[in-house]
Structure 1
Amino acid sequence: MLSQIKILERILYKKYPSSKVYLVGGAVRDKLMKRVACDLDVVVTGVPKDQLEKILAGLGALRLVGKSFGVYKWNDVDIAIPRRETGWGTGARRDVTVQSDHTLSIEKDLERRDFTINAIAYDMRNKLYIDPHDGRRDIQNKIIRTVGDPHERFTEDNSRLLRALRIAIELNFEIEPKTRKIISQMIAKAKNVTKEIAATEIVKAISASPEAALKLFNSTRLIPVLFPELALMQKCKQPKKWHSEGTVWTHTLLALRELEKNRKHPYDPTLILALILHDSGKVQTRKRRGNKITFYNHATVGARIARRMIKRLKLESAGVEKEQASWLIKHHMIAFSGDPKKLRNTTIERYFLSDRYPSEHLMTMIECDSRASVPLSPDRDNLHGLSIIKKRIAEIKKKPPKALLNGEEIMTILNIKPGVEVGKVIARLREAQLSGRVNTKLEARKFLQKLSVKS
């Protein structure tokens, strides 16, 4: 892609000798950090907007993604003319006044940028960095710092509050003290940010490092602003017998830490969100019965909480699957709600071997939950139930038998119409098959006939 930008630079130079093409923003930052750049942003100076548009159109593959902003998409590269911006806080383009001016210097254009590490330009012709705000120094020191006054930058665009947190988490940088202080003071304005923009920043942050994201959200006071469900978890105590680690919040952080151990990055946002909220239902279901604390039905309540939060924050727009997250939370106690040896084979198959559900995520979630639960007694093995389920899964996987009869055959044999009853019969027949009690079509027919007689 850089080669295409170099070609553009040569074409523009021939027609406009005073023109300059600069690589800017995150692409320059990533180049300096030797990271792979996901997006390429370019600023072109010295070429009038209408002329630049004609030249780009002549090169093909041009989309006018922000014509009023002087921004064009050319072969997946964002190309812009220098501009001044005045924002009204939400982060949405409709709430920004833009003045494009091809005569503006690159230094003036960089003044409107959010953070010093994003306010560096690279002169493609002369192979020089333009760094008026010492962004390279902050990259070297792993610091997030606003360009100029932090209060002004965050007032211009409230989404920068969330962007600062996200970039700090993605790059494992520290936020400079003055910038961090203003973030904490202004964090309530995160509510003003367009929900889709906020969702993108949130999901990127938790996908980069789930535990670090929650800790930074908490220390900058974002939790009660956008995630009141999580704030309540911080005060929800658990019985020390099973959870000596402490509150639901502490347990959740430990579960996220377990997720980050020995697992590929980036993490699936649906799994992360489900793990963050897996015990959120404990707040509403906590009961003290004598010396005993219970959380009956907390998984079902937590699933409802997740659905509401995902909908409220529009997290589906950023890749979180609401139904899957809810399903994972609702069933995360399957290894602990009784003797795993007594689970039906069809239950094992349905929850851990089905393409209809995120079965692999459920196994991961149960394991993280188990490892994050620290019993008071060192003799208690929280992974015992999970190990039994894993063995049973392996046994079923060895010879996963095909269904002996389909739905139509069952309806014919039992003389019943389509409906819930057919599904129940299919499940009972499958259980008999997986347990080895029924192995042939003839045995399956006899099994159904016995069911018919009993009913």
Structure 2
Amino acid sequence: MSEASAPHAADRRELTAAQRNAVAELLRVSPVADELGRRFVRAGHELHLVGGSVRDALLGRLGDDLDFCTDAHPDETLRILKGWAESIWETGREFGTIGAQRGGLQLEITTFRAESYDQVSRNPVVVYGTSLDEDLKRRDFTINAMAVSLPEHRFTDPHGGLEDLSAKVIRTPSTPGESFGDDPLRMLRAARFAAQLRFAVHPDVHRAMTEMAADLDRITAERIRDEFTKLLCGADPIAGLRLLVDTGLAERFLPELTGLKLEIDEHAQHKDVYEHTLTVVENAVSYEEEGCDFILRMAALLHDAGKPATKAVGPDGRVSFHHHEVVGARLTKARMKAMRYPKDVTAKVTALVALHLRFYGYGRGEWTDSAVRRYVADAGDLLPRLHKLTRSDCTTRNRRKAAQLAADYDALEERIARIEAEEDLARVRPDLDGNAIMELLGVPPGPVVGRAWKHLKEQRLEHGPLDRDAAEVELLRWARAEGLIT
């Protein structure tokens, strides 16, 4: 490490711990990594563990996916790997990357880069570099611009990444303006790392993100979507979301989030929708049982997206947001489509947004068993997530009100469990299937069968299960009323 990037005295204890982490992690992967390094050296080339792999090793969280860089071009890398790797893939070859597997580790070996970027899409255009220093300088952040040379384990850190790792700060190797000018997506990536690592961005980085936010418009929706998904699934998504809003980046691709900052005046008091939303996301994270549930987190983020468009102030000064769940569902569907999320993911998030208010009113004792059945039927497979979203949405500071809402939802879940045990609510179906309907009415497949099926399902939701005889009587009654039989 250069003197300019030497750690401050106060950091030494932390850096020592980081170095111990790195040694332990590198020893774990050394049998494979060092062996590969020796093969490259024998072939007259360099090999370096680099980027996120070095960062994660220092943090004590190195996984089984290792990133390397080399001066060897892809054809030479393939020759070195042949006969040694258990499997090889070339899906990243156009970017100079060859993948391999060995000893339970996934390896990606990339030729040194000196990238330039397409001036329209800002997608990377690969230009091979000639040195490790050149490769590290082009990387996004200093914490990703460190390398360990193999097999000798020489540590290279020309931009003070180790010090920034200790300080938990996100900084760029070159000036932020140069770095973000090369690839504006790096601004969004800074927010993603803030969420994933719980790091703060350097003031110069924050300033550049704010000044250059509009440059994000030149990035494809797919690349933005992928970075945002990682951000929302970070350990601290709130930090990343605040950064997006504070710098103006959210306005470029998720304006619904910025729009939640509704003006609150002394004559029209209402809950701060933006802060409420961030709390709901935080609550939703706490309800996750294993890993990130992106669908739940995204629904929590957008559940009140319809409020700005539905805000109204009554004669008494009270603020209302009537039908904001309907408007919010429409906005959610449109936004996720624009961000190129898969249709099934979009449909699930949209449905949760549409349903998130359904529970309110249950505590007034107005729900019949029919209403409970419809709640379960409309939620379908999303019911466990709807439970979590509804509970997350309770952010009131009024302890009595919070306790009452929690008790009401406990009661609803207990009621669902009771009715479900009696009626198998998870599989609400009409009491007669299509074949039975066609046989009783003497009709072929077609719209009539569908209408009859829908009617019987409504009866099932309204009254619960019917036995075979009662279902047949109801079907014939409906058919006579529709003029289908006499």
| TM-score band, normalised by shorter chain | 0.7 to 0.9
Unmatched segments (≥5 aa) in structure 1 = none
Distance 1:374 1:264 in 2: 25
**Structure 1 residues 297-331: Cα deviation after superposition (integer angstroms, max 9, x where no partner):** 21111100001111122233xx9811111111111
Contact 1:119–1:147 at 8 Å: present in 2 too? yes
CA shift for structure 1 position 100: 3.9
In structure 2, the CA distance between the partners of 1:9 and 1:351, relative to structure 1 (3 Å rule), is: farther
Superposed counterparts of 1:337-416, under 5 Å: 337=361, 341-345=365-369, 347-349=371-373, 351-352=375-376, 356-369=380-393, 371-374=394-397, 381-401=404-424, 404-413=431-440
Matched AA of 2:79: K
2:356 is the counterpart of 1:332: yes
In the other structure, the counterpart of 2:450 is: 419
In structure 2, the CA distance between the partners of 1:236 and 1:298, relative to structure 1 (3 Å rule), is: farther
Contact 2:296–2:385 at 8 Å: present in 1 too? yes
2:195 is the counterpart of 1:169: yes
- CA RMSD, Structure 1 to Structure 2 (Å): 3.2
Contact 1:287–1:293 at 8 Å: present in 2 too? yes
Q: Give 1:12's match in structure 2, choosing from 25, 31, 40.
A: 40
CA shift for structure 1 position 33: 0.2
Contact 2:332–2:350 at 8 Å: present in 1 too? yes
- Name the SS for the 2:233 alignment partner: helix
In structure 2, the CA distance between the partners of 1:262 and 1:97, relative to structure 1 (3 Å rule), is: closer
Answer with 219-228 or 354-363: which moved more: 354-363
Matched AA of 2:313: R
**Structure 1 residues 385-429: Cα deviation after superposition (integer angstroms, max 9, x where no partner):** 423321211202333447643233244445563123321212313
Distance 1:32 1:90 in 2: 37
| TM-score, L = length of structure 1 | 0.85
In structure 2, the CA distance between the partners of 1:216 and 1:320, relative to structure 1 (3 Å rule), is: farther
Contact 2:129–2:135 at 8 Å: present in 1 too? no
Matched AA of 1:224: E
Distance 2:187 2:73 in 1: 34
Superposed counterparts of 1:33-52, under 5 Å: 33-37=59-63, 39-45=65-71, 47=72, 49-52=74-77
In the other structure, the counterpart of 2:237 is: 210
In the other structure, the counterpart of 1:283 is: 308
In the other structure, the counterpart of 2:100 is: 74
Contact 2:285–2:297 at 8 Å: present in 1 too? no
In structure 2, the CA distance between the partners of 1:286 and 1:59, relative to structure 1 (3 Å rule), is: same
In the other structure, the counterpart of 1:179 is: 205
Contact 1:341–1:388 at 8 Å: present in 2 too? no
2:218 is the counterpart of 1:192: yes
Q: Give 1:221's match in structure 2, choosing from 245, 248, 271.
A: 248
| TM-score, L = length of structure 2 | 0.80
**Structure 1 residues 40-63: Cα deviation after superposition (integer angstroms, max 9, x where no partner):** 211123x45533332334546333
CA shift for structure 1 position 204: 0.8
**Structure 1 residues 217-247: Cα deviation after superposition (integer angstroms, max 9, x where no partner):** 1222223222222222211659999x86x22
Q: How many residues align?
A: 439
Contact 2:195–2:238 at 8 Å: present in 1 too? no
2:298 is the counterpart of 1:273: yes
- Name the SS for the 2:159 alignment partner: coil
Distance 1:43 1:326 in 2: 42
CA shift for structure 1 position 129: 1.6
Distance 1:380 1:43 in 2: 56
In structure 2, the CA distance between the partners of 1:358 and 1:429, relative to structure 1 (3 Å rule), is: closer
In structure 2, the CA distance between the partners of 1:320 and 1:91, relative to structure 1 (3 Å rule), is: farther
Answer with 110-119 or 353-362: which moved more: 353-362
Distance 2:259 2:119 in 1: 29
**Structure 1 residues 60-101: Cα deviation after superposition (integer angstroms, max 9, x where no partner):** 6333334354321223422122232223467754x4251343
In the other structure, the counterpart of 2:149 is: 123
Distance 2:479 2:366 in 1: 25
Contact 2:144–2:161 at 8 Å: present in 1 too? yes
Unmatched segments (≥5 aa) in structure 2 = 1-28
Distance 2:169 2:469 in 1: 72
Contact 1:211–1:257 at 8 Å: present in 2 too? yes
Q: Give 1:234's match in structure 2, choosing from 251, 261, 265.
A: 261
